[in-house]
Chain A
Amino acid sequence: MVLLEGKGVSKAFGALRAVDAVDFFLQAGEILGLIGPNGAGKTTLVNLVTGIYPLTDGEIFFKGTKINGLKPARVSRLGVARTFQIVQPFPGMSVRENVVIGALFGKNGTGRSAKTALQEADRWIEFVHLQEYRHAAVDQINISFRKRMDLAKALAMGPEVLMLDEVMAGLNAKDIEETMTLIQRVNKDLKITILVIEHVMKAVMSLCHRVVVLHHGRKIADAAPRDIVRDDHVIEAYLGERYAKAQKGAE
């Protein structure tokens, strides 16, 4: 089943077509990778899905219903959650209060009291292993923890589609491993469909079932990870010769 689908999705900022007639879809249960050089339009595409920007052209459907034109809050409540490339916390609140916002106002939040939402928040804080820092202020925890807090908040919203915008950027090797395990658990155990924007190719290769490549706002490839790394267009635009050779050498 196709959960999320975009047809001819375009966004122009003045003369710049940041996203240019991109068709994409997200199968229920899969992990889709979205890669491409900086400025390719990856984050813009996510912002179009979540309703932060209006579309210049095209349509986006979630479970068959058109969602472009809806306000971000409305899209979130339908079951599309996201994290931000640069974590967007609520700085005046504790970790627990940050996560509880997701539990209160996400897909399953309607009618939930603050008290039950706090219990729900605790569940997700444990899921991302942050229970020790539950009552810490946001500015007291490091970037790796903040990214996990953001993930817990998104999960507390009870999403069907989760879009992760560079959750691994700025993390060390150990934290990347942990985050990869977490993403796999979210996908397999919680059956949440995931879209990941990522530059860490190791993560893309091992996590994603399928990869879409954007370049200058256009889709230049859409295939399994194994095939993506052999695609000449992708090597030229993004991966580079060295990566391609290293891959061949590894095989």
Chain B
Amino acid sequence: MEGKYRKSWIIGLIALIGFIILPFLAEGYWIRVVTSIFMYAIITAALNIIAGFAGYAAFGNIVFFGIGAYTTAMLMLRVGFYWWAGAIVGGILAAIYAILLGIPILRLRGHYFAIATLGINRATEQIVLDWGSFTGGGKGITLPLPQMEIQTFYAMIYFIMFGLLIFTVLVNAFIARSRLGYALRAIRDNEDAAEASGIFAPRCKIIAWAISAFITGITGGVFAYWFSFIEPATVFDIMIAVKAFVMMMLGGAGTVLGPVFGAFLIELISETVWGKFLTIHMLILGMIMMAVVILIPRGMIDLFRKKFSLSALLKNIKNQAV
């Protein structure tokens, strides 16, 4: 047991050092690719809190990304905030939004909650579109450009995303061991039994969704500053959330490192291979989703824990048939 822990610590340390020195060695393109991988990993790990631990399929979670991005843009342009202050306020607003909406819609279970979150995402996007005089509407909006050399700027965003990713993983690790984590998993497994065991399910779900929203909101703010231009179609894009779901399920929903692992794998492949086949991209994503659900419903992390083997895969298929 001890040796196993030591091994994962060493791997973690090597990865940490590797990612710290990478911007000093790699060229600009790779820095941007890895930054974008970090971003997807954060969104996926944040989604994992509500969808992985609590089992609530928040397909519209990307609404918080949009809220964070637009809050940052508006505060920088209309009030003159620093970008980072805008991003933090964006995170807080996203969390408040999650609490206010969570009170009614977290009473819904299963598919109904998923549908409600999709509706919220669409409705919020529509508000941004219609309020063109303030938000810039469908034409999008340009943020103040950073006053620094472009290489330094990309390196800075890289480290901010990296830091945010580490923060999000730590939040996941903390939740996994906490009272909240046990409550969320109990809710995921059997909500009625959870309530009969003394768990205040609505409260726990709202807290989980608010944490998820806060992290996703800040990430949206960093994204807005990074890209300097946002439009509703990009920051409220439901496909980001769908991709995050595939990443989470591939890596292992409800685990600490699984979602991050899934995000790295899919985003790396997506960037290097599928980028060249834009139209078939979605088809492949869908096929991965199906393969994951049938072959490794508990994700890659689970597969590695039990030692990777063909018989394990076959057993999963057999279980599906039952």
Contact = CB atoms under 8 A, between A and B. Distances in A.
A88 B186 contact: no
Interface string A84-102: 1000111111000100111
Interface stretch (A69-77, A169-177, A198-206, A223-231): A69-77
Contacts of B198: 73, 76-77, 102, 105-107, 109, 157
Contact of A104 (B183, B188, B201): B183
B69 to A, nearest CB: 34
A153 B199 CA distance: 13
A89 B194 CA distance: 9
Contacts of A73: 195-201
A92 B253 CA distance: 12
A50 B189 contact: no
A182 B188 CA distance: 31
Interface of B: 177-179, 181-183, 185-186, 188-190, 192-201, 254
A82 interface: yes
A84 B178 CA distance: 26
B199 A92 contact: no
A114 B177 contact: yes
A52 interface: yes
Q: Could you tell me the dominant secondary structure of chain A's interface residues? A: loop
A71 B181 CA distance: 21
Chain B CB count within 10 A is highest, among A73, A102, A112, A114, for: A73
Contacts of B199: 73, 101, 105
Nearest to A156: B197
17 contacts: A50-B196, A52-B192, A73-B200, A76-B196, A84-B196, A88-B193, A90-B189, A90-B194, A92-B188, A101-B182, A101-B183, A101-B197, A105-B183, A106-B197, A109-B198, A114-B179, A157-B197
Interface string A171-204: 0000000000000000000000000000000000
Contacts of A100: 182
Given A73-B200, A157-B198, A104 B193 contact: no
A107 B195 CA distance: 13
Chain B CB count within 10 A is highest, among A50, A104, A112, A153, for: A104
A153 B182 CA distance: 14
4 closest Cβ contacts across the A-B interface?
A105-B198, A90-B189, A88-B193, A76-B198
Contacts of B201: 73
Contacts of B194: 90, 101
Contact of A88 (B196, B200, B254): B196
Nearest to A82: B196
Interface string A58-83: 00000000000001110011000010
A76 B197 contact: yes
B189 A72 contact: no
Nearest to A90: B189
B186 A101 contact: yes
Nearest to A112: B179
Contacts of A97: 182, 185
Contacts of A157: 197-198
